[in-house]
Amino acid sequence: MTNVSNYTIAIVLSLQTLCTCIIFTLGQYIYKFYLETYPLLSYEIQTSTIVTLPSYLNKINNNFSDKCTKNNIAVNHNAQAWAQQRSANLFFWINVSSCFPIIIMTYILGLYTPKLGRRFVLILPMIGTTCQLAIWLAIIYLHLSEYWWYIAAFIVGLSGSENIRGFVLNLYITENTVENERSSHFVLFGAISMIVSAIGTFVIGYYIAWKGFIDLYWTALILQLLSIFIVVFFFKSDKHYYQTLSMSNDLNSFLNPTNIQISRTYCSFYFDVCKVLEFKNRSRKKSISLLLILLAYASYTFICTSFIILLLYLLNIPFCWTSQHIGNYSAITLISLGILSVLGMKILTNIGACDIIICIISHIFFCIALFWLAFTQYDWQMYVGLIVSSFSGYQNLLTLPMISKLLQPYERTNAFTLVTEINTIMKVIGYCFFNWIYARTVINYKNFTFLLAAFLSIIPLFFNICLWFVSQWMPNEDNDQCEEVDLVSTKVPVSTNWPPQIGDANSLLIPQQLSKLSRSNSLSSIDYETKKHHDADTLY
């Protein structure tokens, strides 16, 4: 079912990617604001973190003071410590303000996407981001209190944030992608999304040094309004399709007396998403594999949120980076990860590695990258670490393709809703947790957050090893010999005939999962999916 051209989707994704890059500059703005207002305020550094610095840390601070001076950053350790703590605490409460509405609305909107229509659900996060940007500008111009940052975060949470946007796009893309090419397409378009983001972050870094932040936030507001306009007028509504499907199911229930007797309660409808985990729906081997994939993905997503403090980490001693440094590093990071991740995927698949083995190798690189980052002190070490980091994001890219191979087509909407909900819960909890940890350890042990994340990265590695043993050694059931866990490696085709598509990168390490949207979906395929949904609903 194609309701919009690939080129229109590319334009919307481009606008959303640029807007996301601008939104990510908020950390720089907050830190700079606190650093400049330190002499004017009487707040003190939290006494719980004031202890004698170890001698080697004092040596680091003294050795890198000259670097901060060269970057026109005042070397006031008390001011920097205070600004770091205040920034981390502010982001902690911002994440707390948005976590509950994001979790609830992600679940509700994901569950009701078929009834509300994909276009409507896609617009909601854009409206929420528009309100957020408007509040940010009001805070800057009117010097409003800090709680307005929390109100803006709460509003974005009510709209579902970017999680819902990615969920809807994945629904559009997955059902229009050939199954045996899905994994490679997710990786490839994730890499393309990084490259597009690299251009935005590079330009933004230099623009901040030239003009500051305010014009950028006005630009982001305009981009959001333009995106809403395009979605409203160029994305065809698909609500009528789901309404027809619902009427068909109601008619079937009326004509079939057994369905009336097995009617479900209203509350049970909200737990339909979790029914994809039921063992009775598929073989025991596939059910255990599905559960292990979700556990690995959840733990990996949680650990990846430790990078939320990377910006503050780089603004502090020993780096003392400016907006230009951050823009350059972000651009090089996104380009290198985009190229090397595809190259690594191609090499691994050519030697016959399956998706599970690729994820295991990825987690090993992920652990090494975190340890490397924790002990980095020089700029060149940050750039060298990108080589290791490039091969650490395959779990995020391959989770949906691996899950889709274990499910029937009519189960994918609920499964993707569940994955999106897991992603949302792990992110909001992780953002709060790691910001809270960083605010309380930045004075004495600023690298403790990354060390903790490095040790935690063993958890998703363990789940993937268990998944590999299940796929290799657990026997298939006699009545389900055809339902095996897919261990066939997927080639990464490099084609120049694909329509231009631009993804949305929400992290330096983990690009938003996107793949190819085919324009060849016909009315017959719609009828086939309608039959799948119809048959599924009549089973209850």
Q: What is the CATH number of the domain that holds 33?
A: 1.20.1250.20
Residue 25 lies in a domain: yes
234 and 342 fall within a common domain: no
- The yes-or-no verdict on residue 487 having pLDDT over 70 is no
pLDDT score recorded for residue 338: 74
pLDDT score recorded for residue 181: 63
pLDDT score recorded for residue 135: 96
188 and 335 fall within a common domain: no
- Neighbouring CB atoms inside 10 A of 281's CB total 16
**Residue 258, C-beta contacts closer than 8 angstroms, at least 6 positions apart:** none
Judge whether 289 and 471 are in contact, CB under 8 Å.
Answer: yes
349 and 209 fall within a common domain: no
**Residue 407, C-beta contacts closer than 8 angstroms, at least 6 positions apart:** 276, 282, 290, 415
Judge whether 264 and 46 are in contact, CB under 8 Å.
Answer: no
Alpha-carbon separation of residue 507 from 63, 104, 441 (angstroms): 31, 23, 23
Rounded CA separation 356/335 (Å): 25
pLDDT bracket for residue 70 (50, 70, 90): low
Angle at alpha carbon of residue 477, lines to 472 and 480, rounded to 5°: 105
360 and 220 fall within a common domain: no
Last residue of a domain, one of 435, 454, 474: 474
Which of 322, 308, 297 is closest to 508 using CA atoms?
A: 308
Residue 512 lies in a domain: no
Residue 508 lies in a domain: no
pLDDT bracket for residue 149 (50, 70, 90): very high
- The yes-or-no verdict on residue 207 having pLDDT over 70 is yes
pLDDT bracket for residue 45 (50, 70, 90): very low
387 and 450 fall within a common domain: yes
pLDDT bracket for residue 375 (50, 70, 90): very high
User: Residue range 437-442: average pLDDT?
Assistant: 89
Residue 356 lies in a domain: yes
Looking at the 3D structure of the chain, how many domains does it have?
Answer: 2
449 and 310 fall within a common domain: yes
- The yes-or-no verdict on residue 150 having pLDDT over 70 is yes
Domain span holding position 310: 281-474
User: Residue range 197-204: average pLDDT?
Assistant: 88
- The yes-or-no verdict on residue 370 having pLDDT over 90 is yes
Angle at alpha carbon of residue 429, lines to 427 and 431, rounded to 5°: 65
Angle at alpha carbon of residue 99, lines to 117 and 142, rounded to 5°: 95
Residue 482 lies in a domain: no
User: Residue range 292-302: average pLDDT?
Assistant: 94
pLDDT bracket for residue 266 (50, 70, 90): very low
225 and 299 fall within a common domain: no
Identify the residue with better confidence: 192 or 105. 105
Last residue of a domain, one of 177, 210, 238: 238
341 and 449 fall within a common domain: yes
331 and 205 fall within a common domain: no
